[in-house]
Structure 1
Amino acid sequence: MEILSLSAADLDRRLPDLADLLHACVQDGASISFMLPFSPDDAAAFWTQKVRPGVAAGTRALLVAEADGRLIGTVQLDTDTPPNQPHRGEVCKLMVHPTARRLGAAKALMGALEAEARQRNRALLTLDTRTGDRAEPLYIGLGYQVVGVIPGYALNTARDGLHGTTIFYKEL
């Protein structure tokens, strides 16, 4: 497995792979802000409209995991913080393709993200995830601390109910 940092030009070249990854994760029920139905075009639009501007501006790091030449995961570090928070970054959209789970990609991506945060002089990371999600034990195992749970935070991907979100932080 290899972890790579993508530039805006790399994102453009890898857009089909990134869109396929996001689409597969949402179809598998990942709670990463999207609702069903969710099309491949919706996935491509997310990368070009929401992620690419920050990558191009240098305020967002986009890391990907590849195995055997295939993109299997991604995570983002958002450092577009207010002037009074230059020491903080936000972990965004950790995704691993449903067919590539349990291979260590999420852990490797988070390790690379933390190294990137340190390079950017970020000493505090925050994130949130759906309460009860399979990612919670990963974050706890990586040393993230639970701040609390906000109940009824977001709709389920299938729009059939609300779920809570768990807020985490880690000091680097």
Structure 2
Amino acid sequence: MSVPAPILFEPSNPQHVGLLPAFADIHIACIETDHTIATFTPPLKRDVIIDYWKERVAEIVAGKRTIVMILANDDEGKEQLAGYVALYRPLTETGPFRGSVEKLLVSPSFRRRGIAKKLMEKLEVEAKIHGQTLLLLDTETGSPAEIVYPKLGYNRLGVVPEYGVSPVDGSLIAGTFFWKQL
């Protein structure tokens, strides 16, 4: 099955805004299924996570963020949000060339299809368009993502112990940081 082309989330598109509950559902699924450290800890409140994504949309409007997403057909042929990734573009005079990769999340039902790779490729194209030539990101140490990012050309910078709160038991776990020069 071929992976559809990634597209940009457009705040002016009512269909895209209508996907915010699906953004929250994937976010929740990644926390509950994979125990991903992704902003929230159980018990998860869907309405709070939808509000979080509404705030991210406001950042798109403000020119501080780009969200790349892929819509793909599920096993029954219905188009669904398969995954997404965000590029945070902080407005700073000392680092206008830096961008932060955030929330590379793929629905568990769409995994192992190359979606994460396609999302990251499109994100990097968008980063260059906006002048971000140095990308930074972090992931929890020991996660599958820690293996994926080097395959995409990201360099491991190091590990920060006790960086995030585990959604499993509330313990502090390490985070691994990466960077890539585009």
TM-score by length of 1: 0.94
Aligned positions, number: 171
Q: Deviations over 1:5-60 (max 9, x none)?
A: 012234422212212221222221221121011122122111013x1221111210
Does structure 2 retain, via aligned residues, the 8 Å contact 1:35–1:159? no
Q: Distance in 2 between matches of 1:94 and 1:156?
A: 18
Q: Which residue of 1 aligns with 2:64?
A: 59
Q: Which residue of 1 aligns with 2:172?
A: 162
| CA deviation after TM superposition for structure 1 residue 2, in Å | 2.7
Matched, 1:42 2:42: no
Q: Deviations over 1:132-164 (max 9, x none)?
A: 110011100011011110011111012342110
Specify the SS of the correspondent of 1:18. Answer: helix
Q: Which residue of 2 aligns with 1:130?
A: 140
Specify the SS of the correspondent of 1:140. Answer: helix
Note the 1:77-96 alignment, pairs <5 A: 77-96=87-106
The range that moved more, 3-12 or 40-49, is 3-12
Q: Distance in 1 between matches of 2:148 and 2:17?
A: 30
Matched, 1:31 2:34: no
| CA deviation after TM superposition for structure 1 residue 105, in Å | 0.6
Question: Structure 1 residues 9, 27: closer, same or farther in 2, change over 3 A?
Answer: farther
Does structure 2 retain, via aligned residues, the 8 Å contact 1:81–1:89? no
Q: Distance in 2 between matches of 1:159 and 1:61?
A: 32
Q: Which residue of 2 aligns with 1:5?
A: 8
Q: Distance in 2 between matches of 1:54 and 1:117?
A: 15
Unaligned runs of 5+ in 1: none
Q: Deviations over 1:82-131 (max 9, x none)?
A: 21101111001100011111111101000000000111111100000001
Q: Distance in 1 between matches of 2:22 and 2:164?
A: 27
TM-score by length of 2: 0.89
Matching residue within 15, 23, 33 for 2:20: 15
Identity, in percent, stands at 35
Unaligned runs of 5+ in 2: 74-78
